[in-house]
Amino acid sequence: MIRVASFRHRESGQTGFGLVDGGGLTECSSASASSILDVLHANALSTLAAPMGISRLSFGEVMFLPPIVTPEKIICVGVNYTNRNEEYRDGTVTAPFPSLFVRFPDSFVGHDQPLRRPRESEQLDYEGEIVLVIGTPGRRIARADALDHVAGLTLANDGTLRDWVNHAKFNTTQGKNFDGSGSIGPWIVPSSEIDLSRPLRLTTRVNGEVRQDDTTASMMFGFARLIEYISTFTTLKTGDLILTGTPTGAGARLDPPRWLKPGDVIEVEVPEIGVLRNTVVDA
């Protein structure tokens, strides 16, 4: 399986990307391709090969970064799994179109990097999600062609400060964009290596306890429909990310709510992709 990760060398501080194999990776950065985004522009993700004669790096020698370090757009889908609308207990009916919001790159850290609980709130919550990485750009993409625009998949923890998404009547931006409150990774798996016609199982664990467990068969708006809808109003560019929604079971919906605290370990897993793991610290 091809797994491509972005990283920073712990000693030199230089950034790069490489192919993951077992407990390490082989750097693929070069003058012609300094990032995974360059690989996507060359439509070469599924054919990426490790250069000859390059030393393999252990995971201990690198810090994982979000796979796409500088995406133009990060578009997130809310309330997209069956029964998620009922979790809100607000009496509203299921919407006929996807609910969308955006996040900024600095609100995410990479795999095995600490999520930062800000001093302004103790209501840090988790949301495990599957992320679509756009390869071929497009506008007004037909649903039948939508998956051809997906270069690969990765995972996200759409970390949320719950009280900050309720500061006004219409807002999500604040509570979704505290620096370092969410994570993306650990790597990208090319879509050619995943059968997107079959449901993917998404599981989120907190300190080993399963909190979320569902499959993409429960999505109200599937991958292709999301791409069709989003590309109606904005051109999807190479490297853009679409977070496709989270299943039921977030901490805010438990009785009583269970917020993340320093020392907690959150794992988001899809077997075909991998495990995204982060620990919580106070900012």
Q: Indicate left, alpha or beta for 132 from its phi (over 0: left) and psi (-120 to 50: alpha).
A: beta
DSSP 229: H
**What does the pLDDT look like over 204-226, one tens digit per residue?**
999 999 999 999 999 999 999 99
Q: Pick the range with the lowest mean pLDDT from 32-41, 85-94, 228-237, 272-281.
A: 85-94
CB-based burial of residue 280 (10 Å sphere; 0-12 exposed, 13-18 middle, 19+ buried)?
Answer: buried
pLDDT range class, residue 85, cuts 50, 70, 90: low
pLDDT of residue 53: 74
Under a CB-based contact definition with an 8 Å cutoff, are residues 241 and 68 in contact?
Answer: yes
Residue position matching structure tokens 């997107």? 196
**What does the pLDDT look like over 229-239, one tens digit per residue?**
999 999 999 99
Could you give the domains of the chain?
A: 4-65 (no CATH), 74-282 (3.90.850.10)
pLDDT of residue 22: 85
**Region 251-263 average pLDDT:** 96
The yes-or-no verdict on residue 186 having pLDDT over 70 is yes
pTM of the model: 0.96
pLDDT of residue 92: 62
Under a CB-based contact definition with an 8 Å cutoff, are residues 195 and 158 in contact?
Answer: no
CA distance 203 to 60: 26
| Closest by CA position to 132, among listed 50, 212, 225 | 225
Q: If you average pLDDT over every residue of the chain, what do you get?
A: 94
**Region 125-139 average pLDDT:** 98
